[in-house]
Amino acid sequence: MITRLIFALLLLTNGLASQSSFLENNWVGRLELSGESHFMRIQFKDGQTSLQLPYWDGNTRYPLLQVEDKEGLPQFTIKRIVNHLEFQGTAWKEGKLEGKVRRNGLEGRFQLYRILPLASNDWQGYLGDYKTKDGLVFKVWDRFNTLRVHSPLSQEVSRMYPIAENQFWLATGESIRFKRREGEAFEAMQWDWQGQECEASRIVAFTEEKSIVDLPNGDTVGISLFTPPGSGRFPAVLIARGAANLDRSLNYTEAEIFASNGIATLVYDNYGTGETRGDLRTKDFEDKQKLVLQLYTYLQGHPKIQSNQIGLMGGSQGARIAAMAASKGIEPAFLILRAHPMETRKDQQLYAIGAFLRQRNVTEERIVQVLHLWEWYFDLASRQEIDQEYVDAVAKMRSAYPDLMFPAAPRNQAPPFAWPDDIYDATKDYLATIHCPVLSEHGVDDDRVPPNKSIHFLAEGLKQAGNDGLTVIRYPNANHSFTMPGFRIAPGLFMNEVNWMKETLKVP
């Protein structure tokens, strides 16, 4: 009797220990159910354990319910709005938990890896670029104090989760193990995914050349030119900036990936940031085009750049500026336009405001009223006059509906910035002289620029120019910034651009 009691107590003690060990650790993994595969993360924070499905349910955190221990293996439930998920562990070994997951009578499987602590000063040896025998480059870098990797094989950017010594698991399901440490750095990495594997060796994938370029108007612009290794004469892309008041680091990721794949890339600080002088608020579309044209001329004269293989690229307003600059007789080798507005600035802003209000469940009747005021405001601002009738109309609507978004319009004071000069400027009006190949990219869920309308205007404009070199790529579930739920960059974005540029320029 005593022996049985001791044995029962031991089982209970082991069960409590394993349950506690599971609940007080952070885990990362995937679940597979009904032909779908989803990234999941379990986090222990402030004494609470919750589960996230970032690419499925966004930032929602589900507390673990009905947590029990069954023969030394955890089981638990989460209550989603649509349906519940029941998890039952079946195998637990060396920081890896496998099991079954059930939903409405359907059964699938899951696997979780325990995340190990890793201080930022311990990961310097991982950072850098690694190249496979087939010429594909893995890029590992530090982003917001987390390790990130761009895999050219899954074509995704993923956070790296440490699960064993020098081994990391990615949200895509890929695994990376670093090998051959020499001094402070690892010289190779082993990649595994879905039964495939390869090895990549550390390389110097690019060099960065920083400069300050003087502009004719007395401003200066700070630039970085990323080039592939070697003296070369390389094809190049100039990434045009738009409305974002940020420095050149905004585009470092794609610049380094492009240069690692043979395409030199120039990025620059926008007005009033970094090493660029000037006030962005006083610069209209014409000023921004002149800046791009000046940098294009700079690239043409650079000893490492092939002068007839320079393309322009931009996103959102940067795409507008790139297309406008391309119409000024410079004959770029190509254009890459991300989330490009083709309508007037006024029409694009009205679309964005309407989408913003619909996301907040504002009625269509009210949206029409708000958009009428905004359209009125844009028309007055373009003439540099804000009349009393308009000011009174806005005050009346703001008093009745204080939670809605109305333009700030001080009495008889026109906007002091340059943007009113651009209100009726439409990108589609600049397409008649563009004859180079064009890559058009849009997130399907773009709420700032209407994708289908923009693509239509672009196609029609290029057709009238006799240009049939348009390629269109739509990214499902991606927004205006090409991110998806869970802040995931649209898969394939960077490698699609690399491969299209190489094919367009006939680069091996």
The pLDDT score that the predictor gives to residue 81 is: 85
Are 168 and 52 within one domain?
no
CATH of residue 147's domain is 2.40.128.50
CA distance 432 to 467: 9
Are 350 and 339 within one domain?
no
Give the pLDDT mean for 337-366: 94
Structure tokens at 270: 């926008």
Per-residue pLDDT of 5-26, as tens digits, reads: 332 333 333 343 455 678 888 9
CA distance 380 to 103: 57
Per-residue pLDDT of 381-421, as tens digits, reads: 888 888 888 888 999 998 999 888 888 765 556 677 788 88
Per-residue pLDDT of 125-144, as tens digits, reads: 999 999 999 999 999 999 88
> Does residue 99 register a pLDDT over 50?
yes
The pLDDT score that the predictor gives to residue 413 is: 64
CA distance 153 to 137: 9
Are 277 and 406 within one domain?
no
The pLDDT score that the predictor gives to residue 12 is: 34
Are 251 and 354 within one domain?
no
Are 334 and 433 within one domain?
yes
The number of domains in the chain is 4
Whole-Å CA distances, 408 to 279, 381, 413:
21, 12, 10
> Does residue 1 register a pLDDT over 80?
no
Left (φ > 0), alpha (ψ -120 to 50) or beta: where does 201 sit? Answer: beta
Strands (E), 215-328: 220-227, 234-240, 264-268, 305-315
Per-residue pLDDT of 263-284, as tens digits, reads: 999 999 999 899 999 888 889 9
Average pLDDT, the chain: 90
Per-residue pLDDT of 451-493, as tens digits, reads: 999 999 999 999 999 999 999 999 999 999 999 988 899 999 9
CA distance 40 to 302: 47
Are 309 and 445 within one domain?
yes
Are 50 and 88 within one domain?
yes
Helix (H) or strand (E) holding 162: strand 156-164
Are 322 and 447 within one domain?
yes
Strands (E), 241-317: 264-268, 305-315
**170: domain range?**
122-203
CA distance 361 to 289: 38
CA distance 32 to 102: 10
Q: At what angle do helices 364-382 and 388-400 cross, to 10 degrees?
A: 150
> Does residue 495 register a pLDDT over 90?
yes
CATH of residue 102's domain is 2.40.128.120
User: Which residue's structure tokens are 């913003």?
Assistant: 356
User: Which residue's structure tokens are 């009905």?
Assistant: 66
Give me the torsion for CA of 127, 133, 137, 138, rounded to 10°.
-50
**Where does a domain end: 114, 149, 175?**
114
Are 432 and 306 within one domain?
yes
Pairing state between β 207-214 and 196-203:
unpaired
pLDDT category, 115, cuts 50, 70, 90?
A: very high
**Where does a domain end: 203, 223, 245?**
203
Q: Which of 253, 30, 50 is nearest to 142 (CA)?
A: 253
CA distance 215 to 469: 33
Q: Which of 348, 259, 264, 265 is nearest to 314 (CA)?
A: 265
**Where does a domain end: 422, 457, 482?**
422
Are 130 and 192 within one domain?
yes
End-to-end CA distance of the chain: 78
- Alpha helix ranges (H) inside 330-386: 345-359, 364-382
DSSP 270: P
Are 72 and 135 within one domain?
no
More confident residue, 13 or 167: 167
Structure tokens at 186: 């690892």
CA distance 441 to 343: 16
CA distance 354 to 373: 12
CA distance 270 to 247: 6
Are 20 and 104 within one domain?
yes
